Structure 1
Amino acid sequence: MRPGPRLVPVLAALAAASLAVPLVPELGRVLAVLAAATLLSALTEAALLSRLKVSLERRGLVALDLDEEEEVGTTLWTSARRPVSLVIRQRWPALVAEGSSSARGVCLPGRAMEVSFRVRGIARGNEILEPAAVAATSWGLAERVLAAGSPGALAVLPNLRAVGRLHRQLNQIALRGLGNRTAPRRGKGQEFDRLREYQEGDDFRDIAWKATARHKKLIVQEYRIDRAQEILVCTDRGHRMAARAGRIARIDHAANAAVVFAYLANRIEDRMGLLSFAATVEPGVLPGRGAGHLRRVMSFATALSAEYVHTDYLALAVDLGRRLRHRTLVLVLTDLPLDEERAGELVRLARSLAAKHVAVFVVSSDPALEARARFLPADRAELARTLVARDLWWNREQVLRELRRLGAMVVETPPDRWGIEAINAYLEIKRRQVL
């Protein structure tokens, strides 16, 4: 129990008024009565609040999408027979950007009070959500602070909103083409889909002559993009992935990209697998598809965390050599190493994949390093920094050129666009029938 928000101002006002007692002696008795009444009211309110019970209800599991601002709703009730002013303060685990959130309102007798907090998840994981602290007062002269509710669970998951946005975009594309015939285009699929009647503009090479003779009208064969192809996403979890890119770490951007990519591959009916690597390779999720497979991918991506060790690209190359039996699209999410030893290992990884598989390297761009390399120095200190930056930038460009020379597709983009650019590269490979 503690003084309410109105008690100190009331007593301060009475103390200020007491300065006029020498001028108006009768005022002293009035002020004494008011002070006694105020203290008595405060004690009465404290006694009433000591029997007050506050109930708090929230979802059993508070699940947030990584790097998305969301509302967490809470419902409160009190046992009081009169309106009670409540101030609710919720402390958040380190997974959330906000250290704590507060809200206030008046809870009427027999009715629930709804409050919500705006929070943003900045790291994946699961944490205990401690009970909320509630400060309750009726008249404002006394205030009781108590814990409301029981401990809950908070989970920050890879960004499912991005998956929802992709789902809506794909549905819009499908509906936009409903009732339209897709024009023949270069690079169309090679997997047979169906037979249909010839329409003006169809390629004569697609005419099925046996079916035409049987039906006595022109029938063409339709093809679709090949499905059930193997895709393996390899996520780097070495020390460079622990660095922040925006509000969240690079490893979190990689987890988001893996989940979004898995959804699209499942939609296209390809078989997608996921693994992570640093000093060693963690097997992860075998290639597959379906709702159960997506749940396994989500669970593995949620548990991804960066380790403060060097990334061993040769260990990944050896593991992939044993693992992959068929031609596979290998998508590597990593941050480009600047030291010659690690960069050489990355090139050797690309060389080992080039002969049999399709390799795509999605690496983070470094606009700050590029800007420093292009900077015109004004003194010797700036000249030294510029020369170092140019050496690093030149080494970086050499590695990228070597990867492309070996036949790998290299996507250089900010980490927050890894998912989008990986999808674009994947669709381009499907369009060109490279896999």
Structure 2
Amino acid sequence: MAFVVPVLMGVAQLLFFIFIFLLLIDGLILFIPTKNIFARRDTPDRLSNGDENPISIYLENHYRFDIILQIIDEIPFQFQKRDLLFETGLNSFESQIIQYQLRPTKRGEYNFGAVNVYVKSPVRLLKRRFQFSQDKMVAVYPSFLQMREYELMAISNRLTEIGVKKIRKIGNSQEFEQIRQYVQGDDIRKINWQATARNNELMVNAFQEEKSQAIYCLIDKGRVMKMPFEGLSLLDYAINASLVLSNIALYKQDKAGLMTFSDKVGQTVQAEKRPGQLTKILEILYKQRTRYQETDYEALYVNTKKLIRQRSLLVLFTNFETVSSMRRQLPYFRKLAKDHLLIIVFFENTELRALLNKPSVTTEEVYLKTIAEKYFYEKQQIVKELGQFGIQALLTPPQKLTVNTVNKYLEIKARGML
């Protein structure tokens, strides 16, 4: 404006020198102190796959004035987040914790980078960057958070809150423990008359629930388990459910084991209930990957026959889309069911169900709905045909896999079927 109105030139020059003076002041108060900001990222030692994991950034302001902060955290590339920016204010000599959550959807190693903190003084003309090297590798394990949740609820008898049913025990699956003195309230049908005669006082037989039954999770790693659902593959859902089921089985004093397979049998953990068994299973599950091959059920049967001698509960996690694909494997399932109690767990296609519930208007929508009904019916037919041969089948949506699998296990325990 001073070129048009020359009288303004003096005002413009004055404002320019004021601006330069403020710029120098801002630079001095921001850059002359060297370590007036401290930041630290706190992460768990390992992350839980498919769960929201808490991450926190701890900040300290050592400046003698209030500041405005922008924090950019360099999180692992697997999360595909480029806009993780936090803005906050911090008073002089004050500390603050910023918390956020990350949900990984793949197991493996995740590398965190630096924590970048951009500081503005009250002048707000310059911005200074502090970079805190927080390079750290964090392993993403199967869902141990979900495992702990189920464990805590099992201990406090609150499993019904997350959908686990309370099932009445049927029959008598108890084993003898000891002979002890009669106490008022004991079942008189359990009086041991021979011991009573010897001791001249009432004695009763004490029983305990039959325990130490072998529970094996058989996990299919073939290409059918690569299908994604809400960010997780079906294999990851099966791995998370296997970890929870193994933990519940050990809590119930049963023996937990594991076998993985695809075109060939992978790693096997013999069913035990010794300390460290769950950690061993967790480490094996952490390393599992889809092999993108056709599953060889004959190899599974041969190895099961060779390695699992005791009658056990076999929970087989796999997937079938058609009756014909199941029938090709039915001879091996029947052989497995002859020596063990076999449960085949496979997945409901929730997108098909959503399509079935959606009203059809156009010809194309009617056609798609007809095809969806065909595939939906085939899944139900698989359950019926397996039941005809005495094979337990569990058809479940992926998000309800863990609850439904635990329910099935508890039902079998309650009914004394093993």
Smaller-chain TM-score bracket: 0.7 to 0.9
Provide the rounded CA distance (Å) in 2 between the counterparts of 1:190 and 1:296.
30
- Taking structure 1 as reference, are residues 28 and 92 closer, same or farther at Cα in structure 2, changes over 3 Å only? closer
- Which of the numbers 290, 294, 297 marks the counterpart of 2:278? 294
- Taking structure 1 as reference, are residues 216 and 146 closer, same or farther at Cα in structure 2, changes over 3 Å only? same
- Taking structure 1 as reference, are residues 363 and 344 closer, same or farther at Cα in structure 2, changes over 3 Å only? same
The equivalences for 1:22-421 within 5 A come to 27-44=11-28, 47-48=31-32, 51-52=34-35, 54-59=37-42, 62-77=45-60, 80=63, 82-96=65-79, 98-99=81-82, 101-106=84-89, 112-138=95-121, 139-173=123-157, 186-196=170-180, 197=182, 199-200=184-185, 202=187, 204=189, 206-338=190-322, 340=324, 342-370=325-353, 381-421=364-404
- Taking structure 1 as reference, are residues 415 and 32 closer, same or farther at Cα in structure 2, changes over 3 Å only? closer
Corresponding residue number in structure 2 for 1:6:
none
Amino acid at match of 2:76: P
| 1:343 Cα offset (Å) | 1.7
| 1:251 Cα offset (Å) | 1.6
The answer to whether the Cα contact below 8 Å between 1:188 and 1:431 also exists between their aligned partners in 2 is: no
Bigger Cα displacement from structure 2, 146-155 vs 32-41: 32-41
Partner SS state of residue 269, structure 1? coil
- Taking structure 1 as reference, are residues 188 and 224 closer, same or farther at Cα in structure 2, changes over 3 Å only? farther
Amino acid at match of 2:155: N
The answer to whether the Cα contact below 8 Å between 1:336 and 1:343 also exists between their aligned partners in 2 is: yes
Bigger Cα displacement from structure 2, 188-197 vs 349-358: 188-197
- Taking structure 1 as reference, are residues 83 and 336 closer, same or farther at Cα in structure 2, changes over 3 Å only? same
| 1:382 Cα offset (Å) | 4.3
| 1:47 Cα offset (Å) | 4.5
Deviation sequence 1:76-106 (CA, Å, 0-9, x none): 4466555543321113224447555332344
Partner SS state of residue 321, structure 1? helix
| 1:210 Cα offset (Å) | 2.2
| 1:189 Cα offset (Å) | 2.3
Corresponding residue number in structure 1 for 2:165:
none
- Taking structure 1 as reference, are residues 115 and 430 closer, same or farther at Cα in structure 2, changes over 3 Å only? same
Provide the rounded CA distance (Å) in 1 between the counterparts of 2:363 and 2:69.
62
Partner SS state of residue 291, structure 1? coil
Deviation sequence 1:313-332 (CA, Å, 0-9, x none): 22222221222211111111
Provide the rounded CA distance (Å) in 2 between the counterparts of 1:94 and 1:200.
64
C-alpha root-mean-square deviation of aligned residues, in Å?
A: 3.2
Amino acid at match of 1:355: K
| 1:358 Cα offset (Å) | 0.3
The answer to whether the Cα contact below 8 Å between 1:95 and 1:124 also exists between their aligned partners in 2 is: no
| 1:199 Cα offset (Å) | 4.5
Provide the rounded CA distance (Å) in 2 between the counterparts of 1:376 and 1:143.
56
Deviation sequence 1:237-260 (CA, Å, 0-9, x none): 222222222242222211111111
| 1:297 Cα offset (Å) | 0.9
TM-score, normalised relative to structure 1: 0.82
- Taking structure 1 as reference, are residues 19 and 45 closer, same or farther at Cα in structure 2, changes over 3 Å only? farther
| 1:117 Cα offset (Å) | 2.1
Bigger Cα displacement from structure 2, 94-103 vs 312-321: 94-103
Deviation sequence 1:104-146 (CA, Å, 0-9, x none): 3445666644322222222222221111222123232111234
TM-score, normalised relative to structure 2: 0.85
The answer to whether the Cα contact below 8 Å between 1:98 and 1:120 also exists between their aligned partners in 2 is: no
| 1:397 Cα offset (Å) | 3.0
| 1:185 Cα offset (Å) | 6.2
- Taking structure 1 as reference, are residues 314 and 399 closer, same or farther at Cα in structure 2, changes over 3 Å only? farther
Deviation sequence 1:54-84 (CA, Å, 0-9, x none): 5433447543222322321222446655554
Give aligned-pair identity as a percent: 23
The answer to whether the Cα contact below 8 Å between 2:31 and 2:128 also exists between their aligned partners in 1 is: no
Provide the rounded CA distance (Å) in 1 between the counterparts of 2:86 and 2:364.
52
The answer to whether the Cα contact below 8 Å between 1:359 and 1:409 also exists between their aligned partners in 2 is: yes
The answer to whether the Cα contact below 8 Å between 1:72 and 1:119 also exists between their aligned partners in 2 is: yes
| 1:348 Cα offset (Å) | 2.3
Provide the rounded CA distance (Å) in 1 between the counterparts of 2:360 and 2:62.
71
Partner SS state of residue 157, structure 2? helix
Provide the rounded CA distance (Å) in 2 between the counterparts of 1:146 and 1:365.
50
Structure 2 unaligned residues grouped into runs of 5+: 159-167
Amino acid at match of 1:91: E
Structure 1 unaligned residues grouped into runs of 5+: 1-14, 175-183
The answer to whether the Cα contact below 8 Å between 1:41 and 1:141 also exists between their aligned partners in 2 is: no
Provide the rounded CA distance (Å) in 1 between the counterparts of 2:9 and 2:82.
53
Partner SS state of residue 363, structure 1? strand
Provide the rounded CA distance (Å) in 1 between the counterparts of 2:16 and 2:41.
47
The answer to whether the Cα contact below 8 Å between 2:267 and 2:284 also exists between their aligned partners in 1 is: no
- Taking structure 1 as reference, are residues 419 and 215 closer, same or farther at Cα in structure 2, changes over 3 Å only? farther
| 1:367 Cα offset (Å) | 4.2
The answer to whether the Cα contact below 8 Å between 1:96 and 1:121 also exists between their aligned partners in 2 is: yes
Amino acid at match of 2:393: V
| 1:375 Cα offset (Å) | 7.9
- Taking structure 1 as reference, are residues 335 and 109 closer, same or farther at Cα in structure 2, changes over 3 Å only? same
The answer to whether the Cα contact below 8 Å between 1:257 and 1:419 also exists between their aligned partners in 2 is: yes
Partner SS state of residue 293, structure 2? coil
Corresponding residue number in structure 1 for 2:411:
428
The answer to whether the Cα contact below 8 Å between 2:169 and 2:414 also exists between their aligned partners in 1 is: no
Partner SS state of residue 55, structure 2? strand
- Taking structure 1 as reference, are residues 431 and 308 closer, same or farther at Cα in structure 2, changes over 3 Å only? same
Provide the rounded CA distance (Å) in 2 between the counterparts of 1:368 and 1:401.
22
